[in-house]
Amino acid sequence: MNPSQSLAVPSSEGTWPSKLPDGGVEIGAYMSWAISPSPSAKQAVPGCSVEVLNDPPAYGYSSPTPAPESGRTPQRIPLADIGRAIERVCLVRHYSRRTAATYIHWASRFVMFHDRQHPADLGPIEVTAFISDLAVRGHVSASTQHQALNALVFLYGQVLAQPLPPGSIRAVRAKRTLHLPTVLSRSQVADFFNQIRGQARLVALLQYGGGLRLLEALRLRVKDLDLERHLVVVRHGKGGKDRMVPLPLVAIEPLRRHLQERFQQHRLDLDQGLGEVHLPHAMARKAPTLARQWPWQYVFASGRHSQDPDDGRNKRHHLDDHHIQKTYRLAYRAAGILVPACTHTLRHCFATHLLERGQDLRSIQELLGHSDISTTMIYTHVSTRGPGGVASPADDLLRDN
């Protein structure tokens, strides 16, 4: 995929056509029934428990757009412009472009579910019907249902200036299940690293050595690496939080060589009148010269330039995450690893192997950037200090024989 595509909202979701087609990938698997849902699909399902699924302030929107003053009506956003309005509000609030694309997707699904009616003409009853239908007919997970709900709460509260009343969404709740993470043994991790080369190997070392998410590793800039103190500063991670993680000793010398090559690449870009990099938020306006300075360059840069959607200038973005994912899959296969491992598996291995070495859960929580210790405690179920370390009574049969 072109590196520029990772900067921009995908074309299928970044625009909102005035007349939505009768088919298309943006509606996904629900296209066959979301366009013309049966009346029964929009009603409460007999025999299913109905609960209050949300209170808007609890989903991160504690300061919704205030309602208009009495006697004044808000300007109605044309249906064709709602997608662009969502993207604009998301960027103003410093949400990622992927979040904006996700919110646009769910707003599109919501409009199609209700026969292309304008969201301003709908309300809590219609939102409840859509959210319930995701669980009853769509069989989505609880996290997917909450994601759709958050998108609609954002749409009404921040874009349309029609906040949904607290406790007004009484939807059928999708069943929340416990999914254990996939964790590899230390020998399997070693086999994986024997099969991977290049920049992808360095990314994998940072993920397994510091517990980074894939995009956190790819978005690292030169200034975020402290090779002397063996630390990595993760900027604006999940939830907009910064944190510090260890830099594995095994990665220091390979990183030094890689940074020397990157510096030479940056010098050539400057000689060609290029050498700029995307700056976060208002940095491009406040200090535009930083875009050409070495400390702000991406550690894992793309092999070609791409257009920054913010200003249209050609810049060198970071590596495409899809390329790294494909490289990981090939390495897992070559190493003979049959479990469904992915890029996030190395982060799970980091936490689990630390726990097995005796590291306390509180420290692991800080390294992973988890807000709640209960999220970190999932690794007690997959470590050898948990169920994996319990001796099975069946093993006594071998000793008895």
| Residue 51 domain-assigned (yes or no) | yes
User: Burial of 41 by CB count in 10 Å (0-12 exposed, 13-18 middle, 19+ buried)?
Assistant: middle
Residues 40 and 141 in one domain: yes
**Does residue 348 share a domain with residue 272?**
yes
Higher pLDDT: 49 or 158? It is 158
* Of the residues 133, 150, 172, the one at which a domain ends: 172
Which pLDDT band, with edges at 50, 70 and 90, does 259 fall under? Answer: very high
355: exposed, middle or buried (Cβ count in 10 Å: 0-12, 13-18, 19+): buried
Residues 318-353: tens digit of each pLDDT = 999 999 999 999 999 999 999 999 999 999 999 999
Instruction: Tell me, yes or no, whether 396 lies in a domain.
Output: no
- Looking at the structure, do residues 183 and 273 belong to the same domain, yes or no? yes
Judged against a pLDDT cut of 50, whether residue 43 lies above it is answered with no
**Type of residue numbered 341:** A
Label each residue of the chain as H, E or C: CCHHHHCCCCHHHHCCCCCCCCCCHHHHHHHHHHCCCCHHHHCCCCCCCEEECCCHHHHCCCCCCCCCCCCCCCCCCCHHHHHHHHHHHHHHCCCCHHHHHHHHHHHHHHHHHCCCCCHHHCCHHHHHHHHHHHHHCCCCCHHHHHHHHHHHHHHHHHHCCCCCCCCCCEEECCCCCCCCCCCCCHHHHHHHHHCCCHHHHHHHHHHHHHCCCHHHHHCCEHHHEECCCCEEEECCCHHHCCEEEECCHHHHHHHHHHHHHHHHHHHHHHHCCCCCCCCCCCHHHHCHHHHHCHHHCECCECCCCEECCCCCCEECCECCHHHHHHHHHHHHHHCCCCCCCCCCHHHHHHHHHHHHCCCCHHHHHHHHCCCCHHHHHHHHHCCCCCHHHCCCCCHHHHHHC
Q: Can you give the residue range of the structural domain that contains 154?
A: 3-67+75-172
399 within some domain: no
Which of 6-10, 231-235, 274-278, 368-372 shows the lowest per-residue confidence on average (mean pLDDT)?
Answer: 6-10
Say yes or no: 41 and 12 in one domain: yes
Task: Write down the pLDDT at residue 388.
Answer: 61
343 lies in the same domain as 246: yes
In this structure, of 21-25, 86-90, 95-99, 323-327, the range with the lowest mean pLDDT score is 21-25
pTM exceeds cut of 0.75: no
Catalytic residue positions, numbered:
213, 238, 344, 347, 370, 379
Residues 276 and 167 in one domain: no
Within a domain: residue 398? Answer: no
**Per-residue pLDDT tens digits for 156-186:** 999 999 999 988 988 888 887 778 899 999 9
How far apart (Å, rounded) are the C-alpha atoms in residues 254 and 232? Answer: 15
Domain boundary among 156, 172, 188: 172
Do residues 308 and 386 share a domain? yes
Whether the per-residue pLDDT at 245 is higher than 50: the answer is: yes
Amino acid letter, residue 212: L
Contact between 226 and 232 under an 8 Å Cβ cutoff? The reply is: yes
Residues 331 and 298 in one domain: yes
Same domain, 186 and 165: no
The whole-chain average pLDDT of the chain stands at 81
Asked if the model's pLDDT at residue 49 lies above 60, the reply is no
Burial of 235 (0-12, 13-18, 19+ CB in 10 A): middle
Both 358 and 378 in a single domain? yes
pLDDT value, residue 253: 96
Report the range of poorest mean pLDDT among 40-49, 76-85, 107-116.
Answer: 40-49
Q: Which of 144, 172, 200 delimits the end of a domain?
A: 172
Q: Exposed, middle or buried by CB within 10 Å (0-12, 13-18, 19+), for 290?
A: middle
Say how far apart CA 30 and CA 21 lie, in whole Å.
Answer: 14
Query: How confident is the model over 229-258, as a mean pLDDT?
Result: 93
The reply to whether 147 and 10 lie within a common domain is yes
Residue 74, pLDDT score: 62
Whole-number pLDDT of residue 176:
78
**Residues linked to residue 232 through DSSP beta bridges, in sequence order:** 225, 245
Q: Decide if pLDDT at 86 tops 50.
A: yes
The count of structural domains within the chain is 2
